[in-house]
Structure 1
Amino acid sequence: MKKVFYAMAIAASVFTGCSSDDDEPIVKAPVEGEISGDITSNKTFAYGNYTLKGMVKIAAGVTVTIEKGSTITADKRDGEDGLVVLKNGILIANGTADEPIVLTEQSKTAGSWAGIIMYGDAPIITTGAATSAKSEDGLNESYGGNNENHSSGSLKYVRVEYAGQVITTNNKEHNGFSFYAVGAGTVLENLVSYKGNDDGFEFYGGTVSAKNLISYGNSDDSFDWQDSWKGQANTNWFAYQTVKANYGMEVEAKGNNNAFFPKVTNITLRRATGTTTEAPGGTEIQLDAFQFKSNGNGDFSNIVIDGYVNQTTPTSVTGGAVQVLDLNTYNNQVLGGKIKLTNVKITNTPTLFISGAVTFTLNAASFLPGTNWGPTTTATGASLTAGKWATIDGVNLLANL
């Protein structure tokens, strides 16, 4: 059994700033320590500054708590680092708006570590209608269960920086936050994925919902899901794409024509001037606010889309508000009324619809019965409150909201 090693340089009980003559608040000094190995018994990490070494795994039946205001720093020179919650493990990381929990990397270089990876026991439907799959994070973990209300813990006011490590594409790659079969009993609120080298947030099936998300400066998709994820209570999602980025939302269901779909309200997808996409692969254009493929679907409302313009360099790419890649998705999901985009405000995006296949033409009339496409000038998009949780190096991430 591996062990967890804690090198505490300063005890958690050290206090300063209090005298017998006044009522000044007690200031708690941060602990200094290391988090490494497999965590096999319940543990609380007191407020402090920690070094993360290796792929740290929280075992089944174990609860790990990280106190508000803590900072956990990986170092890519040490190899692959990440924080993994295995199935039936519990992570409680509840920061506050002014005392967030920050997981970062020493060099501040995108793609330097694996971010937070969480496994639950909720259902998935993947390729060929299978109900289990192997993870694409290199851990080769099986995921997919039968408990829709399963809980993997609580993440509130947590920021992940410079993650999205890609070692082998589609076989060993990481995001800022990766949620495998995570259940609806899990709390995900006020989370930031900042300048990663892959997706900001990715859901691999499951039933969990997420509120108040910021995906800022991530190189692939801001929000991505597959394996028939069906979270129903998602709200206030903000993506700001800059320098290099692909889709605002990549929506797929591994070819399954599901009777259900996820729901997201209050969405802002913005693409900064000069942002370029990765080189297009195959038939995928990779420059749209929404892309639907492999029978991906969803109900989206109160949406702001801005800045998805055509790209001329380094390659010529047509950008748009909504892309549907394949004929099955068009027939089953668009014409079937299972893609709903209502109360949509679109600016600085000349092309509204893009057909990924020549066998159909996507337009407003496609969204039958006619109530599933709703352009407007009054949509407000995401509503988020500023604070230290959304401020990095003095920059307010919500300035472009």
Structure 2
Amino acid sequence: MKKLVLSLSMVALFLGSCSSDNEEITTQPIPTGTISGDITTAKTYPLGNYTIQGTVKIKNGGSLTIDAGSTITATLADGTADALLVENGGKLFLNGTAALPIVFTEASKTAGSWGGIIMFGDAPIVGANGVTTATSEDGNNLPYGGANTTHNGGSLKYVRVEYAGKKLTDNTSELNGFSFYSVGSGTVLENLVAYKGADDGFEFYGGTVSAKNLVSYGNFDDSFDWQDGWRGQENTNWYAYQVGTGNYGMEIEAKSVNNAFGPKVTNITLTRGTGTVTEGGSSAAEYDAIQFKKEGNGEFSNVLISGYTTAGSTAVRIQDAATNTNQVSGGKIKLSNVKINDGTSQFAGVGTAFTVTFPVGNYSLSTTTTGAALTSGSWSIIDGLDLLKK
């Protein structure tokens, strides 16, 4: 009994000591501050709430790391052209998690408020007339293109960009949610969300990079768009939901160059919400799920299409005779295991100048297609709305 009393006394003494120590523990405030200017060295921002001011440029040799769970807010009202731009040779590390995504947003929640994330590399492109370098169309007028297929611009995982698509000072150059100029295969792009921007959700300008687990929700122009001979080979799980205003689910072109290659994308869901209209009402024909034009091509499998029911719309549109001859008849466009809901027609051309006929084996339907396979989490939930449940 004496031993038990002694043991209990020691426990009480220990707990009392811990209680005293705990009173001295304080919660550290979440860091805040402004991200601005050029980044020329390695710079890291810990988990916090930050403001982005102006076009932040990560220069050649510089790097920017922002920790998981951080929020970076642009402000339309300050009059600056806010954007995060990675120049060729710079690196961006945004490695969030499903529970702690890295969120770029805008204070007023207005589409077109800022420029989103823009990355440049020196991977190959094939531009108009077969050029291997070009100047960006985003208003920054930066060169892109090269021969570095494995260019590495960093790592973007579980990153959400909201309310991008700003027009720059020329009032015509629109920026997307994510813009990738000749980005190479060494760059990691996974679990990215482009939400309610005023232009495209994702656009690729040439390059060899691949992207996995993409969500394009409520963007005014196209959900996914590419040109300049983009050739990513390991793309999978692309999900698009167009609501309110939206044009094509995917707009595919190659600057009128008949390339011997094209991208590959597996597991695609393209959905158009009821009542969605085309951008500005001026492009009445831009309501198809997938459009191929200017020699665009590629291989696409496990494709689920719903809601593209506007009179005259189709699941797959071939926009011009050259694309039909060289890409469709030439066997460079392949769509397999396509499931079309809502009675939308399978494919069509424009007018009566040519007839679209896919070679045997290059277009197939399936009743069991599932489309994109994505897992919900904080990364896909905005203001209580789970984007993947639409």
TM-score, normalised via structure 1 length: 0.89
Asked whether the equivalents of residues 320 and 353 of structure 1 are also in contact (C-alpha less than 8 Å), the reply is yes
Asked whether the equivalents of residues 68 and 100 of structure 1 are also in contact (C-alpha less than 8 Å), the reply is yes
**2:133 corresponding residue in structure 1:** 132
**2:377 corresponding residue in structure 1:** 387
* Structure 2 unaligned residues grouped into runs of 5+: 1-17
Matched letter for residue 358 of structure 2: F
Paired positions, count: 370
* Higher mean C-alpha deviation, range 164-173 or range 324-333: 164-173
- Secondary structure at the counterpart of residue 51 of structure 2: strand
Distance 2:171 2:132 in 1: 19
Aligned pairs for 1:125-274 (under 5 A) are 125-167=126-168, 172-274=173-275
**2:6 corresponding residue in structure 1:** none
Whose Rg is larger?
2
- How far residue 280 of structure 1 moved from its aligned partner, in angstroms, is 6.7
- Is 1:45 paired with 2:23? no
Matched letter for residue 151 of structure 1: N
- How far residue 361 of structure 1 moved from its aligned partner, in angstroms, is 1.6
Alpha-carbon displacement from aligned partner over 1:283-320 (angstroms, at most 9, x marks no partner): x8211110000000010000100000115xxxxxx211
**2:82 corresponding residue in structure 1:** 81
Distance 1:134 1:72 in 2: 28
**1:332 corresponding residue in structure 2:** 326
Matched letter for residue 374 of structure 1: S
Change (3 A) 1:27 1:240: farther
Matched letter for residue 177 of structure 1: F
Asked whether the equivalents of residues 136 and 170 of structure 1 are also in contact (C-alpha less than 8 Å), the reply is no
Distance 2:222 2:142 in 1: 23
Asked whether the equivalents of residues 139 and 170 of structure 2 are also in contact (C-alpha less than 8 Å), the reply is no
- How far residue 279 of structure 1 moved from its aligned partner, in angstroms, is 5.3
- How far residue 21 of structure 1 moved from its aligned partner, in angstroms, is 6.9
Change (3 A) 1:334 1:98: same
**2:13 corresponding residue in structure 1:** none
* Structure 1 unaligned residues grouped into runs of 5+: 1-17, 312-317
- How far residue 41 of structure 1 moved from its aligned partner, in angstroms, is 1.5
- How far residue 358 of structure 1 moved from its aligned partner, in angstroms, is 2.8
Change (3 A) 1:124 1:171: farther
- Secondary structure at the counterpart of residue 288 of structure 1: coil
TM-score, normalised via structure 2 length: 0.91
Matched letter for residue 228 of structure 2: D
- How far residue 351 of structure 1 moved from its aligned partner, in angstroms, is 2.3
How much is the aligned-residue C-alpha RMSD, in angstroms?
1.9
Larger fraction in helix: 2
Asked whether the equivalents of residues 147 and 183 of structure 1 are also in contact (C-alpha less than 8 Å), the reply is yes
- Secondary structure at the counterpart of residue 166 of structure 1: coil
Asked whether the equivalents of residues 272 and 307 of structure 1 are also in contact (C-alpha less than 8 Å), the reply is yes
Asked whether the equivalents of residues 39 and 63 of structure 2 are also in contact (C-alpha less than 8 Å), the reply is no
Aligned pairs for 1:21-40 (under 5 A) are 29-40=29-40
- How far residue 380 of structure 1 moved from its aligned partner, in angstroms, is 0.6
Runs of 4+ in 1 over 3 A off after TM superposition: 18-22, 25-29, 167-171, 279-282
- Is 1:355 paired with 2:349? yes
- How far residue 278 of structure 1 moved from its aligned partner, in angstroms, is 2.5
- How far residue 63 of structure 1 moved from its aligned partner, in angstroms, is 1.4
